[in-house]
Chain A
Amino acid sequence: MACCSSMSTLADPTALSGPYWQVPRLRTDQRWLAGVAAAIATEIGIGALWIRLVFALLTLSGGVGLAAYALCWLWFTYHARSQGQSAYVPVPKGVNPARRALGVGLIAAGVIALSRRWLPSSVDDTALWPVAVASFGMLLAWSSGKVDWSAPYELMRAAGGLLLVAAGVIGFIVLNFSVGVAPRALLIATAVLSGVVLIVTPWLWRAASQVSRERLERTRADERAELAAHLHDSVLQTLSLIQRNADDKQATIQLARRQERELREWLYGRSAGGSELSLRAALTRLGAEVEELHGVPVEVVVVGDAPIDERVQSALGAAREALMNAARHSGAPRVDVYGEVEGELLEIFVRDQGRGFDEQQVPEDRRGLRESVRGRMSRAGGSASVSSTPGQGCEVALALPLRAAEAAL
């Protein structure tokens, strides 16, 4: 039901709130030249061929058609740009297409008759080509969608178009009056043009600066929207989680630190360097992961960077073991991870200031972990050392020589 009623209102032109006649949009999808004829045809509701025929006839009668085409083209383009993205929906006019075509034909005939009457008969030959050249030049100069004047190609196009316009104007003067009149006519034309430029320039300037200001504001709005979306997905979620977990101090701290890390990565990640596949990013993520698992703050500092290959991956695995070990068993309030790539040597240090242990009396489970750290490193062609004193924490040092080719990266 609802669908049917909405369809019937669409078919009824009076039911639409938009204006009955609208400025057409260029139909670049159906164009022969710029799509002006097809645009007008769409708005009127008849075949584009009729409008093209009218333009052709008008052009043959003294170039009026070309000028009209160019003017319509400019008008439609400007209007579409000032309207922005709002949709153009042609209103069905509810009149028989044949009668509409007849109307267009009659109007065209009238314009042709009037132009024959007003323009001197000599104009036909001598005015047609200069006007055509000038119109083409105008199209060329204005056909750029962008206003990027810094591009040399755009400048050349604009200059070429303006030259053609000038040639058309001079040709018009020379062909329609005697050659001797030309300098004086040019002088007058220049004077008039200068006056127009003087009047129009400040207005154009203001319009242009307003457009760029609006564009800047739109960009800012987009950025704000992106920021808001991110904050909503991350910070606001975490804040609500914190409110719910307010009694659990450990969980609250953990949530806050995790959010802090994530937000920092988002804010500074791009400038702090390190692609997805770099040691820097991987160690930072590792620290965050362990911190989240065990609730122990992990301070990660990385100097230099290296791409990750299988061997670096092994070193990262060993670092992870050491880090988990420290977070689980040391009882330290904080674990420090320091990674450094200098020349062809990668070093990773994992240090805690926890209870430490005596090398001689290592419990079985920790010995196993140490072996897994050492084993990984030696298989990768590196080394690992563990130093600890009871009561003074523990440090695991990993070293891995990188191949010369990788160090150069």
Chain B
Amino acid sequence: MTVTHVRRRIALVDDHELVRAGVRSALGERVEVVGEAGDVASAIALIGEQQPEVVLLDVHLPGGNGPAVIRGLPNTSARFLALSVSDAAEDVIEVIRAGARGYVTKAISAEELLAAIERVAAGDAVFSPRLAGFVLDAFASQPVATVEDPELEQLTLRERDVLRLLARGYAYKEIASRLFISVKTVESHASAVLRKLQLSNRRELSRWAAHRRLI
């Protein structure tokens, strides 16, 4: 990963003004905040007008939640990074399925958040340990036998290895050296996982969600 000194143009979408102010001050001058929005409609208007590079998107929003913002902007070049305190796996998976490139919790440090913004801007995926756990859980509970297209619906062993290391708290670089692959390969595995999640059978995932609620 190369450290760029370009100030990324970002938008903050969160219904809590305090959170937006906190994120803004934590990121400081190293990014250019082109605007803030507190609900779905104004977020869509803002992103459509400003076309930021990265949108920091809250999972829960008045007027339809994070996925509604992403779906309301089918043609934008902006990339979305979910930033939330939400612990509900279904909600997190839903925003990723809608097209977000990653999920980090609000407890993240400013340095980590900047790195994540950089990564998302470059088109890569950002997995916090928690997101990796959610994704592993989602794919683990799918029965192998009923899957129609195994290439699409199942994680490869390598992808699973990468996810497990992410869940254990390893960074991409550490994963690369542990698995004797390049960082680029780790990144492509992570992106592949996101793609599979977005394309995977809705029915299977909703069954997973239902199962989780039942436990």
Residue numbers of A with Cβ under 8 A of B are: 257, 260, 264, 267-268, 271-275, 278, 297, 299, 301-305, 333-334, 336, 338, 340, 342, 349, 351, 353, 395
Identify the stretch in B11-19, B32-40, B44-52, B164-172 within 8 Å (CB) of chain A at 4 or more residues: B164-172
> Nearest chain-A residue to B105 (Cβ)?
A299
Q: Which of B86, B88, B132, B168 has the most CB of A within 10 A?
A: B168
Contact A336 B140 (CB under 8 A): no
Residues of B within 8 A of A297 (CB): 107
Where chain A touches its partner, the secondary structure class is mixed
Interface presence of B137 (CB below 8 A): yes
Interface presence of B129 (CB below 8 A): yes
Residues of A within 8 A of B169 (CB): 299, 334, 336, 338, 351, 353
Residues of B within 8 A of A349 (CB): 168
In angstroms, how far is the closest chain A Cβ from the Cβ of B59?
12
Residues of A within 8 A of B215 (CB): 273-275, 278, 305
Residues of A within 8 A of B164 (CB): 338, 340
Residues of A within 8 A of B137 (CB): 303-304
Residues of B within 8 A of A260 (CB): 85, 107
Contact B167 A268 (CB under 8 A): no
Contacts across chains A and B counted by CB atoms under 8 Å: 63
In angstroms, how far is the closest chain B Cβ from the Cβ of A180?
65
> Nearest chain-B residue to A333 (Cβ)?
B109
A-B contact pairs, 27 of them (CB 8 A): A260-B85, A260-B107, A264-B87, A267-B87, A268-B87, A268-B88, A272-B87, A272-B88, A272-B89, A272-B212, A275-B215, A299-B169, A301-B132, A301-B167, A302-B133, A303-B140, A304-B140, A334-B169, A336-B129, A336-B168, A338-B129, A338-B167, A340-B136, A342-B140, A351-B169, A351-B170, A395-B168
C-alpha spacing A395/B175, complex, angstroms: 14
C-alpha spacing A273/B209, complex, angstroms: 10
Interface presence of B213 (CB below 8 A): yes
C-alpha spacing A155/B77, complex, angstroms: 59
Residues of B within 8 A of A338 (CB): 129, 133, 164, 167-169
Contact A301 B212 (CB under 8 A): no
Interface presence of B130 (CB below 8 A): yes
> Nearest chain-A residue to B139 (Cβ)?
A303
Residues of B within 8 A of A303 (CB): 133, 136-137, 140, 167
Residue numbers of B with Cβ under 8 A of A are: 85-90, 107, 109, 129-130, 132-133, 136-137, 140, 164, 167-170, 212-215
**Given A299-B169, A305-B215; 9 other pairs, CB 8 A cutoff:** A268-B88, A271-B212, A273-B213, A303-B137, A336-B168, A338-B133, A340-B136, A351-B169, A351-B170
Ranked 7 nearest A-B pairs via Cβ: A336-B169, A273-B215, A301-B133, A338-B168, A268-B87, A303-B136, A349-B168
From A271, A272, A301, give the contact of B129 (CB < 8 A): A301
In angstroms, how far is the closest chain A Cβ from the Cβ of B143?
13
Residues of B within 8 A of A395 (CB): 168
Residues of B within 8 A of A333 (CB): 109
C-alpha spacing A267/B60, complex, angstroms: 13
